Homo-oligomer: A and B are copies of this chain.
Amino acid sequence: MAQPQQSDGAGTGKPPLRVGMVGYAFMGAAHSQGWRTAGRVFDLPMSPELAVVCGRDAIGVRAAADRHGWADTETDWRALVERDDVDLVDICTPGDSHAEIAVAALAAGKHVLCEKPLANTVAEAEAMADAAEQAWHQGRLAMVGFNYRRVPATALARRMVTEDRIGTLRHVRVTYLQDWLVDPAFPLTWRLRREQAGSGSLGDLGAHIVDLAQYLAGERLAGVSALTETFVRQRPLPTAPAGGLATVDATGTGQVTVDDAALFTGRFASGALASFEATRYATGRKNALRIELNGERGSLAFDLERLNELSYHDGTEPRAHAGFRRILVTEPDHPYLDAWWPPGHGLGYEHTFVHQARDLVHAVAEGRTPEPSFADGLQVQRVLAAVEESAEKNSVYTLITA
């Protein structure tokens, strides 16, 4: 067994926080980078250790451990959640296994970080939120990985909303545009099958923008009206087949069972209007999570493709000099930035995971509920369920149950 990689140096006298991570694909790599770096950049109250990584394939998980710096491996998540030398379970698997792992980990006395969306169904998410509620009384914390709250620019936007810089909210418009499904020859991966992914662009992209919109607005959606569409319904099977692809037809293709795109409008509790679009068919848009909030006193806008910038219009300025300003969010008094580089030296995507790790370590050390909580993740799930219900019921406006 190799030495555990510690985000903060041994011998610093800080208590360790031993992480066990389940899954090691895209999200696993990003989370590893977060755990490995957080203590190197931020002065943390505990020292994260990359203790164990878990995956079903023994050879694959060993290689991932070596690559990403995890000290030990497991091939059964049940074994991982029972280990005494793990304090926190970090769940980076597809959505269909989130509930089972998270509930077991909380029951085993671990803190839990779970990737978004929290679950594939409201029922699963409710079970998880219940488990988190009980674990809280045992001093265990649970957090869902809506990492886009932790871009410095979105965190600054939230701070500016709480400072009342935009006033009474009138509009929120959000899109999350990608284009990796435009080619009909793109294969049928697990993300295109309902049994594993739960939904398509809705759960993958829509979950992010629902959370971010509500986080920035500081309030919840009351109801939605939705259209969803699957543009390409049959796709070639991947060379290395994803698990559980039951519906394979004779031509070597399989059925897409999730949405390709989801459009919905909604009302916030306050009466503000919102529009949402999640799609994987916006040719040329690679990761265009764009959000704009218009309030009576000002507006804020953000684009994930330019993540070091926040656009702000101060509506109280004399109109002769007013305009949307581009705040380069790299100043030491911007969120998270005092620990990084001088002004103008931007951050990247993965830094959201460093910040997520930082914030969770602080929450654990201080016994505070981390945000977004499983209850927050459940509420997003309810919005997604209302979207699906509306889409099935001819777009009729559908209230979000509390």
Contact = CB atoms under 8 A, between A and B. Distances in A.
A302 B347 CA distance: 17
B296 A182 contact: yes
Contacts of A180: 342-343
Most chain-B CB neighbours within 10 Å: which of A273, A287, A333?
A: A273
A263 B286 CA distance: 25
B279 A277 contact: no
Contact of A229 (B30, B271, B320, B348): B271
A178 interface: yes
A293 to B, nearest CB: 9
A275 to B, nearest CB: 5
A349 interface: yes
A179 B324 CA distance: 13
B341 A284 contact: no
Contact of A40 (B36, B41, B292, B322): B36
A158 interface: no
Contacts of A288: 344
Contacts of A267: 227, 229
Contact of A396 (B160, B182, B395): B395
A32 B40 CA distance: 9
A277 B341 contact: no
A356 interface: no
Interface stretch (A78-86, A95-103, A116-124, A169-177): A169-177
Contacts of A327: 320-323
Interface residues of A, number: 105
A106 to B, nearest CB: 30
Contact of A171 (B225, B279, B395): B279
Contacts of A235: none
User: How many copies make up the complex?
Assistant: 4
B396 A286 contact: no
Interface stretch (A60-68, A133-141, A237-245, A368-376): A60-68
B66 A307 contact: no
Contacts of A179: 294, 315
A178 B320 CA distance: 17
Given A170-B261, A325-B322, A306 B306 contact: yes
A281 B261 contact: no
Contacts of A308: 305-306, 348
Contact of A273 (B225, B261, B295, B390): B261
Interface in A296-343: 296-299, 304-308, 310, 312-315, 319-328, 330-331, 333-334, 341-343
A179 B69 CA distance: 40
A346 to B, nearest CB: 5
A362 interface: no
Interface string A381-402: 0000000001000111100000
A265 interface: yes
Given A271-B229, A283-B297, A299-B284, A346 B394 contact: no
A325 B325 contact: yes
7 contacts: A33-B40, A40-B67, A283-B294, A286-B330, A287-B345, A305-B328, A325-B326
Given A26-B341, A283-B295, A304-B344, 6 more contacts: A11-B66, A37-B37, A225-B395, A282-B292, A287-B330, A348-B351
The 3 closest A-B pairs by CB, nearest first: A287-B344, A286-B344, A284-B313
